[in-house]
Amino acid sequence: MPIATPKQYEAMLDAAQAGSYAYPAINITSLATINGALKAFAQQKSDGIIQVSTGGGQFASGLGVNDMVLGSIVLAEACHRLAERYDVLIALHTDHCQPGKVDSFLRPLIAETARRRENGQENLFQSHMLDASELPLKENLDLSKDLLKECAANEIILEIEAGVVGGEEDGIDNHDAPAEKLYTTPEDMVAVYEALDGLGRYMFAATFGNVHGSYKPGHVKLRPEILKQGQEAVMGKYGKEAEFDLVFHGGSGTPMEQLRETLAYGVVKMNIDTDTQYAFTRPVVDHIMKNYDGVLKIDGEIGNK
């Protein structure tokens, strides 16, 4: 079916919040990974989210072009065409965009959706992420407010982040982030609500010790109760309608009981990238290791592709 409309996407998130479940948000970089994600959603009979990072967009544009906006548009347009062949509802999202790339990545993509809407077409992307967690909270929220207004004018949902997700993703390395930055406080969550309420629909990537990448058990100290405490602080002051739509980043290796616990605290979107990268590369490595002599074509012999 066609990619979700803005209203359908909002209904998806509302249903997840009401039903205490979250949508997988799978990063893609190519036609092969788009097809893999769509097939997986269809096999599981699950609606979901497909997302593109700045690096993924850059890669998709071709190494001779390196244009993250062009590549993201190409990937999104491919998703629009291919999703029509599947009986699941898919929304499109862009992943972490730091402040230094707002004018060269986010705003051009918002402008592309605005252009499409003027021509009677549906939105290119249904949501975008601003990751301004590197900034002091007030500066983060000032930029978030500006972008949320721009997104809302085009029925786009904005995902924001306060606190830092540790580890490394898409070239952004937060391995050395101070421990206290890995945990969003209830006061931070109240400040986010007070700054953004009424400006448009948004999702919030609050941090609770989560780390990008794959780590040995016990290395990552998750504290899901931080999400509960933050939600309680906001709803205690502003009522049930103030409950956040939360996003879980850096979930690789998380015990299932902790994953389920976050659902009870308002997580409606769970990002998946590291695990699918391994799912993509491991069969390739396995084939090469098992057929090493054959994959190198020798003159006069038939190679094993």
The whole-number pLDDT of residue 255 equals: 83
pLDDT confidence band for 165 (50 / 70 / 90): low
CA distance 228 to 234: 10
- Counts of helices then strands in the chain (DSSP H, E): 11, 11
Q: What pLDDT was estimated at residue 175?
A: 46
For residue 221, what pLDDT is reported?
76
Q: Which two tokens stand for residue 192?
A: 């986010």
For residue 275, the model assigns a pLDDT of 85
- C-alpha 89/C-alpha 2 separation (Å) is 7
Q: Which one, of 44, 39, 71, lies nearest residue 57 by Cα? A: 71
* 12 neighbors 89 (Cβ within 8 angstroms): yes
User: What pLDDT score was predicted for residue 215?
Assistant: 44
d(CA 249, CA 207): 8
Would you name the residues annotated as active-site residues?
Answer: 95
Q: What is the per-residue pLDDT across 21-58, written as a single tens digit (0 to 9) for each?
A: 999 999 999 999 999 999 999 999 999 999 999 999 99
Closest to 271 in 3D by CA, of 171, 174, 179, 203: 203
Neighbour-count burial for 85-105, b at 16+ CB within 10 Å, e otherwise:
eeebbbbbbbbbbbbebbeeb
User: What per-residue confidence (pLDDT) applies to 222?
Assistant: 85
> Closest Cα partner for 51 from 134, 152, 126?
126
Residue 238: band (very low, low, confident or very high) from pLDDT cuts 50, 70, 90: very high
pLDDT at 49: 99
Residue 164: pLDDT above 80?
no
Nearest to 155 by CA among 105, 197, 113: 113
Say which residue the tokens 């599981």 belong to: 44
**3-class SS shares of the chain: helix, strand, coil, % to 5:** 50, 15, 35
Q: Mean pLDDT throughout 249-262?
A: 86
pLDDT value of residue 97 = 97
Residue 305 has pLDDT above 70, yes or no: no
Answer whether 51's CB lies under 8 Å from 27's CB. Answer: yes
Cα dihedral across residues 95, 98, 103, 104: positive or negative: negative
* Per-residue model confidence as pLDDT tens digits over 1-26: 999 999 999 999 999 999 999 999 99
The lowest-confidence range among 114-123, 134-143, 276-285 is 276-285
**Superfamily grouping for domain 6-272:** Aldolase class I (3.20.20.70)
Q: What is the pLDDT of residue 86?
A: 98
Q: Determine the average pLDDT of the residues in 184-203.
A: 97
What's the token pair of residue 267?
């997580």
**Nearest Cα residue to 140 out of 149, 148, 131, 129:** 131
In the Cβ-directed half-sphere of 169, how many Cα atoms lie within 13 Å?
29
What's the mean pLDDT in 70-74? 99
Q: Which of 76-85, 218-227, 269-278 has the lowest mean pLDDT?
A: 218-227
* 264-292 pLDDT, tens digit each: 999 999 999 988 888 889 998 998 888 88
Bridge partners, residue 26, by sequence: 50, 272
Question: What are the sequence ranges of the domains in the chain?
Answer: 6-272
Residue 187: exposure state from Cβ atoms within 10 A (0-12, 13-18, ≥19): exposed
Would you state the pLDDT for residue 42?
A: 98
Which of 101-105, 171-175, 176-180, 215-219 has the highest average model confidence (pLDDT)? 101-105
Return d(Cα 159, Cα 127) in angstroms, integer: 7
Q: Compute the average pLDDT of residues 139-152.
A: 99
139-145 mean pLDDT: 98
18 to 8, 32, 187: CA distances (angstroms) = 15, 33, 25
Is the pLDDT confidence value at 303 over 70?
Answer: no
Q: What is the mean pLDDT of residues 196-221?
A: 78
Q: What is the reported pLDDT for 166?
A: 46
Nearest CA among 191, 121, 106 for reference residue 151: 106
In angstroms, rounded to a whole number, what is the distance separating the alpha carbons of residues 93 and 233? 29
295/124: higher pLDDT: 124
